[in-house]
Protein backbone atom coordinates (compact mmCIF):
# COMPACT_ATOMS: atom_id res chain seq x y z
CA UNK A 1 0.00 0.00 0.00
CA UNK A 2 1.53 3.31 -1.07
CA UNK A 3 1.50 6.60 0.86
CA UNK A 4 -1.24 8.21 -1.26
CA UNK A 5 -3.58 5.27 -0.76
CA UNK A 6 -2.84 5.26 2.97
CA UNK A 7 -3.51 9.02 3.22
CA UNK A 8 -6.85 8.56 1.42
CA UNK A 9 -7.89 5.77 3.79
CA UNK A 10 -6.89 7.83 6.81
CA UNK A 11 -8.89 10.78 5.47
CA UNK A 12 -11.99 8.58 5.06
CA UNK A 13 -11.61 7.28 8.61
CA UNK A 14 -11.27 10.82 9.97
CA UNK A 15 -14.44 11.88 8.14
CA UNK A 16 -16.34 8.92 9.55
CA UNK A 17 -15.22 9.81 13.07
CA UNK A 18 -16.12 13.46 12.51
CA UNK A 19 -19.67 12.51 11.52
CA UNK A 20 -20.11 10.70 14.87
CA UNK A 21 -19.46 13.84 16.93
CA UNK A 22 -22.33 15.98 18.20
CA UNK A 23 -20.40 19.24 18.64
CA UNK A 24 -17.84 20.54 16.16
CA UNK A 25 -15.13 23.14 16.52
CA UNK A 26 -14.79 25.87 13.91
CA UNK A 27 -12.11 23.95 11.97
CA UNK A 28 -14.08 20.70 12.16
CA UNK A 29 -17.19 22.50 10.86
CA UNK A 30 -15.14 23.80 7.92
CA UNK A 31 -13.96 20.27 7.15
CA UNK A 32 -17.44 18.78 7.63
CA UNK A 33 -19.25 21.29 5.41
CA UNK A 34 -16.48 21.93 2.88
CA UNK A 35 -16.82 25.66 3.53
CA UNK A 36 -13.65 27.75 3.70
CA UNK A 37 -12.62 29.31 7.01
CA UNK A 38 -13.15 32.84 5.71
CA UNK A 39 -16.63 32.13 4.37
CA UNK A 40 -17.73 30.26 7.51
CA UNK A 41 -16.48 33.18 9.60
CA UNK A 42 -18.52 35.53 7.41
CA UNK A 43 -21.61 33.34 7.91
CA UNK A 44 -21.16 33.26 11.68
CA UNK A 45 -20.50 36.98 11.99
CA UNK A 46 -23.63 37.65 9.93
CA UNK A 47 -25.71 35.25 12.04
CA UNK A 48 -26.58 33.17 8.98
CA UNK A 49 -25.48 29.82 10.40
CA UNK A 50 -26.38 28.46 13.87
CA UNK A 51 -23.46 28.34 16.31
CA UNK A 52 -22.58 28.70 19.98
CA UNK A 53 -19.94 30.81 21.63
CA UNK A 54 -20.11 29.76 25.30
CA UNK A 55 -16.93 31.40 26.59
CA UNK A 56 -17.00 34.39 24.26
CA UNK A 57 -14.06 33.22 22.17
CA UNK A 58 -14.32 29.70 20.77
CA UNK A 59 -17.10 28.92 18.28
CA UNK A 60 -18.87 25.56 18.34
CA UNK A 61 -21.49 24.01 16.08
CA UNK A 62 -24.22 21.51 16.95
CA UNK A 63 -23.88 19.00 14.12
CA UNK A 64 -27.67 18.45 13.90
CA UNK A 65 -28.34 22.17 13.52
CA UNK A 66 -25.50 22.44 11.02
CA UNK A 67 -27.00 19.58 8.96
CA UNK A 68 -30.44 21.21 9.09
CA UNK A 69 -28.94 24.50 7.96
CA UNK A 70 -27.06 22.83 5.09
CA UNK A 71 -30.25 21.10 3.92
CA UNK A 72 -32.50 24.14 4.26
CA UNK A 73 -33.99 25.76 1.20
CA UNK A 74 -34.17 22.45 -0.66
CA UNK A 75 -35.34 22.16 -4.22
CA UNK A 76 -37.92 19.66 -5.43
CA UNK A 77 -37.25 17.41 -8.39
CA UNK A 78 -39.38 17.70 -11.52
CA UNK A 79 -41.01 14.40 -10.61
CA UNK A 80 -42.01 15.67 -7.15
CA UNK A 81 -43.49 18.83 -8.69
CA UNK A 82 -45.46 16.81 -11.25
CA UNK A 83 -46.83 14.49 -8.54
CA UNK A 84 -47.88 17.47 -6.39
CA UNK A 85 -49.53 19.06 -9.41
CA UNK A 86 -51.48 15.91 -10.22
CA UNK A 87 -52.51 15.46 -6.58
CA UNK A 88 -53.69 19.06 -6.41
CA UNK A 89 -55.63 18.68 -9.66
CA UNK A 90 -57.38 15.51 -8.51
CA UNK A 91 -58.13 16.78 -5.01
CA UNK A 92 -59.48 20.13 -6.20
CA UNK A 93 -61.42 18.86 -9.22
CA UNK A 94 -59.43 21.00 -11.66
CA UNK A 95 -60.67 20.81 -15.26
CA UNK A 96 -58.17 20.91 -18.13
Q: What is the pLDDT of residue 94?
A: 60
Percent of the chain at pLDDT > 90 equals 49
Model confidence at 3, pLDDT cuts 50, 70, 90, reads: confident
Q: Are the C-beta atoms of 61 and 22 separated by less than 8 Å?
A: no
In whole angstroms, what is the distance from residue 63 CA to residue 50 CA? 10
Contact 24, 66 (CB under 8 A): yes
> Over 70: is that where the pLDDT of 95 sits?
no
pLDDT computed for residue 49 by the predictor: 96
Overall average pLDDT of the 57-85 stretch: 91
> pTM (2 decimals)?
0.65
| Paired residues of 23 in beta bridges | 62
pLDDT at 47: 94
Amino acid sequence: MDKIELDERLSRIEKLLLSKKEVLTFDEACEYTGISRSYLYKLTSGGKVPFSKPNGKMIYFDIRKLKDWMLSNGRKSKEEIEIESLNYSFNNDVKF
